């Protein structure tokens, strides 16, 4: 594996370990210090907006001034925000720190993938050393290593919870991991690839088309994922330990699917793979709403994550090879912005639904998310047989 790709994957894997427990403890911490469901929804909304805007700016700056340097700055910001989070009490400060570190977007692109500022830059760095055919497999390898780290973080949370430890001290662990990631990223070699302008000029039309399907994907996921641990607690009366086991199992199944799906796409085509996996993940969300017990709902969540993230490296490769190489981080930033902006609306809706129709929460998210694969087909059907 190329040195730059290895360093980018290693630094992201460390941060992914942190996201493995942050996804679960972030909303629970807000509740523990006195905030209600509606307030938490509004704070997550604000944090997602901050993170989405940061993704666009970071992507453009990385392509124009150097991906390595922007990556180091983002990792340093993650470390500072994580280390100071538990000392904050004002809602605006908590939302700002969460947005800077990507806590609220953890399930939509935190641990792995091109989502969020870190993912936008790191995926572009990895894509620099891969050709069109091998890119899905390389990005799959990166995603698997990152997901294994996230799985370790989730099971660490579960173990500490069962031992009665103060799990919110894990925010400090996240800060330390961010520092190590900065040190690793410093050894990445700058390839000198630069965009001609700060705003995209060579691929803006394709970036727009690639961003459109991410809106229903983001909105559907945003309704369910940010408050998922609270949904499990309210619907099935389970604690953080049981929730951590489900998240860990989901990460494990994602690894299996990420080994299989990118290789299958070499035979059936990337666009077909994207559509099939997105339909399956949306239907799994819907099935969660009709699950009578926690174990069944947890199983459908595992399947949803496996299909969504298993096909994620294929989607990344599809995006990277449909834009100019000098604007890849920018493309990731804009697609992440459209997805995360839509996701940011979700928690406000789910905060309301938690009070009036909590059981049906995943159904609403799944129905909206079904528009994602439909739009992929409609916008790129000219590539249905060729890609």
Share above pLDDT 90 across residues of the chain, in percent, rounded to a whole number: 47
Q: Kindly state the average pLDDT of the residues 171-190.
A: 95
* Dihedral sign (CA 274, 277, 279, 282): negative
Confidence at residue 344, expressed as pLDDT on a 0 to 100 scale: 74
Confidence at residue 151, expressed as pLDDT on a 0 to 100 scale: 79
In sequence order, which residues have a C-beta less than 8 Å from that of residue 297 and are 6 or more positions away? Answer: 232, 235, 236, 288, 291
Q: Which two tokens stand for residue 242?
A: 């049981």
Confidence at residue 1, expressed as pLDDT on a 0 to 100 scale: 64
Q: What is the pLDDT of residues 102-131, one digit of tens each?
A: 887 544 445 455 567 888 899 899 888 877
Does any domain span residue 301?
yes
Does any domain span residue 387?
no
Helix (H) or strand (E) holding 377: helix 371-380
Task: Indicate the pLDDT class of residue 188, thresholds 50, 70 and 90.
Answer: very high
Q: Which of 214, 245, 247, 234 is nearest to 361 (CA)?
A: 234
Q: Kindly state the average pLDDT of the residues 71-85.
A: 95
Which CATH number do you get for residue 258? 1.20.1250.20
Over its C-alpha atoms, the chain yields an Rg (Å, rounded) of 19
Q: Which of 98-107, 269-278, 301-310, 344-353 is the least confident region?
A: 98-107
Does any domain span residue 386?
no
Does any domain span residue 30?
yes
In sequence order, which residues have a C-beta less than 8 Å from that of residue 236 and are 6 or more positions away? Answer: 293, 294, 297
Confidence at residue 114, expressed as pLDDT on a 0 to 100 scale: 54
The residue ranking higher by pLDDT, 339 or 58, is 58
State which residues form the domain around 69. Answer: 3-191+203-381
Does any domain span residue 357?
yes
Q: Kindly state the average pLDDT of the residues 327-331.
A: 93
Check whether 158 has a pLDDT greater than 90.
Answer: no
Check whether 185 has a pLDDT greater than 90.
Answer: yes
Kindly write down the DSSP assignment for every residue of 174-208, as one continuous string. Answer: HHHHHHHHHHHHTTPPP-----SSSS--SSHHHHH
How many domains does the structure of the chain reveal? 1
Check whether 190 has a pLDDT greater than 80.
Answer: yes
Does any domain span residue 309?
yes
- Interior/surface letters 173-195, b for 16+ CB within 10 angstroms, e for the rest: bbbebbbebbebbeebeeeebeb
Confidence at residue 267, expressed as pLDDT on a 0 to 100 scale: 87
Does any domain span residue 184?
yes
Does any domain span residue 272?
yes
């Amino acid at each position: 594996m190329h040195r730059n790709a290895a360093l980018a994957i290693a630094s992201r894997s460390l941060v992914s370990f942190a996201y493995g427990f942050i996804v679960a403890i972030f909303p629970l911490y807000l509740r523990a210090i006195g905030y209600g469901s509606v307030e938490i929804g509004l704070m997550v909304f604000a944090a997602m907006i901050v993170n989405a805007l940061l993704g666009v700016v970071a992507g453009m700056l990385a392509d124009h001034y150097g991906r390595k340097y922007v990556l180091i700055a983002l990792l340093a910001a993650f470390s500072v925000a994580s280390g100071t989070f538990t000392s904050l009490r004002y809602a605006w400060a908590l939302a700002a720190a969460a947005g800077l570190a990507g806590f609220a977007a953890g399930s939509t692109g935190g641990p792995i993938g091109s989502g969020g500022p870190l993912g936008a830059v790191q995926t572009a760095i990895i894509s620099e050393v891969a050709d069109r055919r091998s890119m899905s497999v390389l990005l799959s390898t990166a995603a698997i290593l990152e997901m294994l780290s996230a799985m370790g973080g989730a099971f660490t949370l579960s173990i500490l919870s069962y031992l009665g430890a103060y799990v919110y001290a894990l925010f400090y662990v996240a800060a330390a991991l961010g520092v190590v990631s900065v040190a690793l990223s410093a050894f990445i070699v700058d390839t000198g690839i630069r965009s001609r302008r700060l705003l995209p000029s060579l691929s803006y039309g394709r970036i727009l088309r690639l961003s459109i399907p991410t809106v229903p994907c983001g909105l559907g996921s945003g309704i369910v994922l940010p408050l998922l641990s609270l949904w499990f607690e309210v619907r099935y009366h389970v604690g953080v330990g049981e929730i951590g086991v489900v998240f860990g199992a989901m990460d494990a199944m994602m690894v299996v699917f990420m080994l299989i799906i990118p290789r299958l796409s070499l035979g059936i085509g990337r666009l077909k793979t994207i559509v099939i996996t997105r339909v399956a993940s949306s239907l799994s969300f819907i099935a969660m709403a009709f699950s009578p017990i926690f174990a069944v709902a947890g199983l459908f969540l595992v399947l949803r994550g496996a299909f969504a993230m298993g096909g994620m490296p294929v989607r990344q490769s599809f995006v990277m090879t449909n834009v100019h190489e000098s604007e890849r981080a920018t493309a990731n930033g804009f697609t992440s912005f459209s997805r995360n902006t839509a996701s940011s609306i979700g928690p406000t809706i789910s905060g309301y639904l938690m009070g009036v129709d909590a059981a049906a929460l995943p159904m609403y998210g799944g129905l909206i998310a079904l528009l994602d694969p439909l739009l992929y087909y409609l916008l790129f059907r000219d590539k249905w047989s060729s890609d």
